[in-house]
Amino acid sequence: MSSERQTLGALLRGLRSRNNWTLKEMSDESGIPVSTLSKVEHDRLTLTYDKLLQLSDRLGVPITELFAQPENAEQPVTARRSIGTIEESVRVETPNYDYYYLCTELRHKRIIPVVTRIRAKSTKEFGKLVSHPGEEYIYVLEGAIEVHTEFYDPVTLSQGESIYIDSNMGHAYIATDGFDEAVVLGVMSSEDSDLIDSLMSLHDDEKNGGSSETVRA
C-alpha cells in the first residue's frame, strides 16, 4: 500500500515532540520566528530552501530528513531487462585479468555482472591490491583461486565455491597451483550509480601498474 508524502509541518511537529521543545524553544534553537514555525506546523506556510538549510544546520538535522519520504513509499517499476552473452560483452584486458562485462546497454546500474578470466599466478605477479566502492560476490566457474585481502589471511576457493567481500578493502584474485587460469562470475554493487566508471578507471590504473600499496578507484 502506498502512503502520502509527509508534510514539512508534520516533520517539524515530530522533531519538536522528540526534543520536548515548545515553539518558543524551537524558535530559539533554529533562529526562525515562532509565528513562522507555527504556520509551517499547521501547513499554512512552507520554508524557502535557505531557511531549510538554516534549520538543518542549527538543529543538526540532515536536510534529507526535511524532505523525507515515508518508509513504505512504493518504488517505481522501471521494467528494465537485459539478456547478456559473452559474445556481446564489453571485454577489458589487464595484465592480470580478462573482464567480460555483461548487460552493458543498461546505464547507471547498481549491480555490475562480469565474468573474469584470471591469469595471475602469484601476488608478486599480480602487484598492488586493488579496491573500489561497494561490495562484491565472486563465484568460481572454472579452476580454483586464491583470494588475498587487506585484513584477512588468504583463502582458496575451488569450482562451485564463492566469497562475498567489502570492495573498499584491498583485494586480489589469483589462479592457484595446478591451473594456468581460472574463470569466475563476479557481481559488484554500490550505492554509486556510476560504479562502472569507477571500475573502468581502476582498470586503467591496473594497466599502468598503480602507484601505491593499494590501487584505489
List the grid coordinates of 146: 586464491
Assigned CATH topology for domain 8-67: 434 Repressor (Amino-terminal Domain) (1.10.260)
Instruction: Determine how many CB atoms are found less than 10 A away from the CB of residue 56.
Output: 16
Residues 6+ apart with CB under 8 A from 122: 174
Per the prediction, the chain carries an average pLDDT of 82
- What mean pLDDT is predicted for residues 29-35? 90
- Kindly report, residue by residue over 190-204, the tens digit of the pLDDT: 776 566 666 766 666
The listed CATH number (2.60.120.10, 3.90.1150.10, 3.40.50.450, 2.60.120.590) that belongs to domain 90-216? 2.60.120.10
CA distance 18 to 16: 6
Please state, for a pLDDT cut of 70, what percent of the chain lies above it. 79
pLDDT at 164 over 90: yes
pLDDT at 141 (0 to 100): 98
Domain parsing of the chain, residue ranges: 8-67, 90-216
pLDDT, tens digit, 9 for 90 and up, residues 36-56: 888 888 888 877 767 888 888
Cβ–Cβ under 8 Å, residues 106 and 37:
no
- Which amino acid would we find at residue 25? E
Predicted local confidence at residue 6, as pLDDT:
65
Task: Give tens-digit pLDDT for 87-125.
Answer: 988 888 888 889 999 988 877 778 889 999 999 999 998
Report the pLDDT value the prediction gives residue 136, as an integer from 0 to 100.
Answer: 95
pLDDT higher than threshold 50 for residue 1: no
Name the pLDDT band for 15 (thresholds 50, 70, 90). confident
Strands (DSSP E) contained in the chain are 90-93, 97-101, 111-118, 129-131, 135-142, 144-149, 155-158, 162-166, 171-175, 182-189, 214-216
Q: What is the pLDDT of residue 214?
A: 45
Q: Are 121 and 137 in contact (CB under 8 A)?
A: no
For residue 57, what pLDDT is reported?
Answer: 85
pTM: 0.60
Q: Of 8, 5, 4, whose CA–CA distance to 48 is shortest? A: 8
- Cβ within 8 Å of residue 108, ≥6 positions away: 193, 194
**Nearest partner of 212 among 123, 135, 131, 146, judged by Cα:** 131
User: What is the structure's pLDDT at 135?
Assistant: 93
Identify the residue with better confidence: 38 or 74. 38
